Amino acid sequence: MNSFGQAEEAYGEASGKDPQLVEPQHRLALLYLHRGACDLAIESLEKAFRVNPSNAVLFNDLGSAYGMRGAQKKELEAYGKAILLKPEFEAAHFNFALAKLRAGDYLAANTEIQALRALDPSLADKLLNLVKEK
């Protein structure tokens, strides 16, 4: 069994022992995202939400899962919820701005980039450089 399989087994076992633990489900979701298994990632995140429905990090990762799946509206909603829950969450602003750019909503993307710039100017610059490269 490879290391992903071992980790998946361990996190599954941990979440089975105590379904009230968010972390094993979150870690499973991250493993699934890394493997490109968006539906499994979303399923794991939804289980984690049953325990902690106001976790900004979970919403940010849910946005990533929906983005990988191509579900743009749900992706944007998830990033938006992450920011509502934790307005200073730089990664969520970064991801939300990128998703807005992909959606062609340049005005909203600019708003997010400016919010990101207020939190972390160098991260905002990295996002702009990333966009210029494409």
Domain-wise residue ranges, the chain:
1-53, 72-134
Residue 129 in tokens: 């450089």
Give the residue among 38, 28, 37 at the shortest CA–CA distance from 6: 28
pTM, two decimal places:
0.87
Question: Which CATH number is correct for 1-53, 2.30.30.240, 3.40.50.720, 3.40.50.1820, 1.25.40.10?
Answer: 1.25.40.10
Sequence-distant (≥ 6) Cβ neighbours of residue 77 within 8 angstroms: 63
pLDDT reported for residue 63: 97
In 1-134, the DSSP E strands lie at none
- Class of the 72-134 domain? mainly alpha
Which positions of the chain have pLDDT values less than 50? none
* Spatial CA neighbour of 68 closest among 43, 103, 93, 41: 41
* Per-residue pLDDT tens over the stretch 58-92: 999 999 999 999 999 999 999 999 999 999 999 99
Contact yes or no for 83/93 (Cβ under 8 A): yes
Same topology, domains 1-53 and 72-134? Answer is: yes
CB 33 within 8 A of CB 61: yes
